Amino acid sequence: MTVPTMASRSEPWQAASRAVSAAAARLPAAAVVRAARRVPSPVLDGALAVGFLAALLTGQARSAPLPGSRLALAIALDVVIAGSLALRRKVPLAAYLLGTVALAAGALWTGRSAVAPYANMISIYSLGLYARRARAWWGLLLVFPGVLIYFSRAAHGSVNGAAPAGVLLAWVLAWAVGYGNARRHEEQEAARQAMRRQAAADERSRLARELHDLVGHTVNVMVVQAGAARLVLDRDLVKAREIVASLELTGRQALGELDRMLGVLRRDAPPAGGSTSLDEDLSMPRIADLPRLAQRMTEAGIRVTVRIDPPVPQVARSIEMSAYRIVQEALTNSLKHGGARSAIVTVRLTGHALNIGVSDDGSGPPDGYQPGRGLLGIAERASAFGGSLQHGRPERGGFQLRVVLPVS
């Protein structure tokens, strides 16, 4: 009886492999990848294990018959080798160890299979890809004794022309590819997490700035108006009514802006114009609205003069809103902290920059003062556009703030 050689036993599998590769090449690659991704991982691994088990058992049937006990051992080892593939994601190190032990045992006692080494190569790749760093490195160390045992009984130190050094190199490369992919995925995930954390921090900072500018300014104005109404209530009822009416109007305007902000935050779909920026969505205040802000501040007790050059600066919408908020916060500080009676606001577009200046006649800051939330918010707005902020007490007293916002 002619005993099939290892080369003859592997020829049908090489032909089958070529046929499968040719069929796969005719399928749209993107469709195959999408379909595979929709299949749960346990199902894919189970199918892989079943496929290898069928190939291993078929190889046993086509090879030289073995005695009963050795045949049972060979089948058991084939089951272990194939079954290890089903566990390659959950317990990659244990799966590779089981497969390697079974592969070495088969080489020693039942004969080498032409299919089993490929299953072991998939296992070593999976070990590098799915195992934690320490376990992956332990698995790499197991490659060396596994290859040595597998070739221990080979004549002339090779199997089917494959030298131990070449097989060892192939196994190490498979592990390295899996390990490199795993580390790259970890780095990408870490980068995505860092980006998400940074985006969340930026959004919290921006929301805090908007709420501070909106609510803080309005509440300060309302407090001043309420105090003024209380002072004149007994001696000038008409004036008190005017102040209370202005107080009501200020509150209604604040509620309207706050409602718009909450509407933006609750909205699931992007706005009709395609804008998704909070600064663009909360785009009601503009540079042209500064005179109305000055009037409201005048009613609160600080006379404000506004100078805009040109009267309608042609700048981006987000810059207009930031300029308005900067002036609003500066005037609020003049009223609340400086006790100023008058202030001058200048907004001038010169070349490629929008220059904003606010100066008042208040008490000015104390020596060694530290910027509070208002000035920090102004600094953040300027920094967002690559601009600059300067503030302090001028020689004539009071407080002066200058902001430069690049517009191109």
Lowest mean pLDDT among 136-140, 264-268, 382-386: 264-268
Same domain assignment for residues 150 and 298 = no
Lowest mean pLDDT among 180-194, 316-330, 334-348, 368-382: 368-382
Domain presence at residue 324:
yes
pLDDT in tens, 178-223: 999 999 999 999 999 998 888 878 777 777 777 777 777 777 778 7
Lowest mean pLDDT among 110-119, 137-146, 275-284: 275-284
pLDDT in tens, 274-289: 444 444 444 468 899 9
Query: Among 129, 144, 162, where does a domain finish?
Result: 162
* Residue 29 binned pLDDT confidence (cut-offs 50, 70, 90): low
Number of folded domains in the chain?
A: 2
Measured from the Cβ of residue 347, the count of other Cβ atoms closer than 10 Å reads: 25
Asked whether residue 314 carries a pLDDT value surpassing 80, the answer given is yes
Domain presence at residue 190:
no
Q: How far apart are CA 388 and CA 166, in angstroms?
A: 64
Query: Among 139, 162, 185, where does a domain finish?
Result: 162
Question: Which two tokens mark 370?
Answer: 């530290």
Q: How far apart are CA 148 and CA 170, in angstroms?
A: 14
pLDDT, mean of residues 314-324: 89
Domain presence at residue 157:
yes
Domain presence at residue 62:
yes
Query: Among 133, 162, 191, where does a domain finish?
Result: 162
- The parent domain of residue 382 ranges over 287-408
Tell me the three state secondary structure of residue 156: helix
Q: CATH number, domain at 301?
A: 3.30.565.10
Query: Which amino acid type is present at position 228?
Result: A
pLDDT at 182: 93
Domain presence at residue 182:
no
Same domain assignment for residues 157 and 291 = no
* Residue 397 binned pLDDT confidence (cut-offs 50, 70, 90): confident
Domain presence at residue 97:
yes
Tokens 């089951």 identify what position? Answer: 79
Cβ neighbours for 400, distance < 8 A, ≥ 6 positions apart: 357, 358, 359, 360, 391, 392, 393, 394
Q: For residues 310 and 348, is the Cβ–Cβ distance under 8 A?
A: no
Domain presence at residue 149:
yes
pTM recorded for the entire structure: 0.54
Domain presence at residue 212:
no
